[in-house]
A and B are shown apart, each in its own frame.
Chain A
Amino acid sequence: MAVKFEKKEEGVYTLDCVGYVCPHPQIYTKKMLEKIKPGEILEVVFDNPSSSESISAMCASNGNEIIERVAEGGKYIYKIRRSE
């Protein structure tokens, strides 16, 4: 198992960190957001509860918008739009 990066469609990328603990999900999310273009969307999938707080706070601080949050059965899917 490894962290997986995929291009889902034009302008939408997925980052799958399921199974990973702190600080992997938040660090990979930060790095991926730096790599994609402004306006593009990153869908982060993770199952480490404390990363949800860190990713939310990171997006609030950097101006990236979390456009959708799904939390179900210990698994989280956050769709983040990169700011300009």
Chain B
Amino acid sequence: MEEEAKKKKIWALVIIGFFALVSALTYAYSDYYVYLSAYLWFGLIYGMCLQYGRFCFASAFRDLFAVGVPRMVVGIMIATLFFAFVSSFVTATGFSTFHPSPSGIHSMIAGLIFGIGMVFAGGCASGSLYKTGEGNGVALLVILSISVTQSSFADLGGWLNKLVPASWHASATSKKLPAVINAGDGWLDQYLAGYVWNHDKVTFAKLLGLKNESIFGAFGGNLLVGVIIPALVMLIVVYFFWGRKGFVRERMKEKGAVSFSDHFTGFWRMISLSKRTSIAGLILGVACGLQMFVIEGLRIKYGVRNAGEILTRLGSDFGLSIQGTVFDPGYWYVTTQEAQWVGWVMHKLGWNNMDNIFFGYINGIPNPALNPADWMSLALIGGAAIMALLNNEFKFKKPTMELAIWAIAGGFFMGIGSRLGLGCNVGAFFVRVANGDIGGWLFGLGMIGGAFIGVKFFNWWTERKMAKELAGLEI
């Protein structure tokens, strides 16, 4: 057994060595690759943090509703608070890469669909990436399902056009997008250009009449009002309904009564109960904020606004959008690059999927080997693998038929939710909330509702299955 653990540690070093070699060799070829390497190393940090803290957004509300465990809600709120603090600093200094997205009821509906999906799949978008790094075949299947669903959904028209309200169609065509994009054809195109883009981009700073880039706007509006207060309210609600139960029982045994001040101790105990999750949340939050700072710094250094210009300078202009851009968020993101690599494969197989807004007008379908966001996701998987190997937790697991069905169904719902919400649990929730975008909380509220529905279904399913399994067992 010790021999096996030793081998795993060697594999961890091999993975680190591989990423270091990629960075060194590509840098030797052209220093523009530093831009891609920056994404890579932040991805590696994210993967290590996620695996170390068993950091999965799906488990936050699923475990709360299903088994009464607040561990992950606490972890996410810690990560969000630290990310928001660093983001506020980065925003106030003018180095932020974040742009708020249009918010509305669609954010909540998208979150609801995504939330159901993440419970079915057994992991959120980022959770599935890190679990793939642990050798989990089910998680890999979830990624495939999310990727294929998004990529197809981005370009589907035909009979789906009949489901588009006339007002969306009229509004989409009135935007005068380039003819090659054909914004009046395709469900997602008309949803984006005819509905989503008509909504305001609202941050808490803006709501208070402050500028995002000002100190008061970034720290007072987006951080204090947009993150600290709602996060505290959420943690207090979670403590009241779930966290205090165990604490109160213990205190009653010890002292026979629980005073109001005892609850401060109980609240702190809930926060510090899972040190791994809290530590991972802290590092993750700081790293997320720093990534924005580093990417913006590199953009200034190279005099570019988007990685599309870097790819062009590297001689790879295939798959750029009509605006010459590729997906280059400048911060942690998961689902768009998953859609892109499948989009690239489908394009190579003959599917013309560049005549839509998602690929053709905004994100492109660059070669995955040169896609900065793909470098981040692959390194995230690698980082999780390193951590799992070092802790002797790496294990290849083949999906069973039952788990494969859950994975594909969950990935499908997450794929649809991601495109409707303009991101997943990371891009549409975590990043947006931490940067004061109201739409992030709306997506989050939807995710909570979706997790609740998903858990109800899951409970029904497992009860049914257990009744069969336990039929002959005497308890």
Contact = CB atoms under 8 A, between A and B. Distances in A.
Given A7-B474, A54-B71, A63-B249, A23 B392 contact: no
A67 interface: no
Interface string A10-33: 000100000111111011111100
Interface in A35-84: 35-37, 47-50, 52-54, 57-58, 60-63, 72-75
A3 B465 contact: yes
A79 B24 CA distance: 48
Contact of B1 (A4, A24, A62, A73): A73
A53 B68 contact: no
The binding surface of chain A is classed by DSSP as mixed
Contacts, number: 127
B473 A63 contact: no
Contacts of B246: 60-63
Contacts of A63: 246, 249-250
Interface residues of A, number: 40
Nearest to B388: A49
Interface residues of B, number: 57
Nearest to B71: A57
Interface of A: 1-7, 13, 19-24, 26-31, 35-37, 47-50, 52-54, 57-58, 60-63, 72-75
28 contacts: A3-B465, A5-B470, A7-B473, A13-B475, A19-B397, A19-B400, A21-B131, A22-B62, A23-B66, A23-B122, A24-B122, A28-B462, A30-B67, A31-B462, A36-B475, A37-B475, A47-B395, A48-B136, A49-B51, A50-B54, A50-B59, A52-B54, A54-B67, A58-B63, A61-B68, A61-B246, A63-B250, A73-B1
Interface of B: 1, 4-5, 51, 54, 56, 58-59, 62-63, 66-71, 119, 122-123, 127, 131, 134-136, 138-139, 242-243, 245-246, 249-250, 273-274, 276-277, 388, 392-395, 397-398, 400, 402-403, 458-459, 462-463, 465-466, 469-470, 473-475
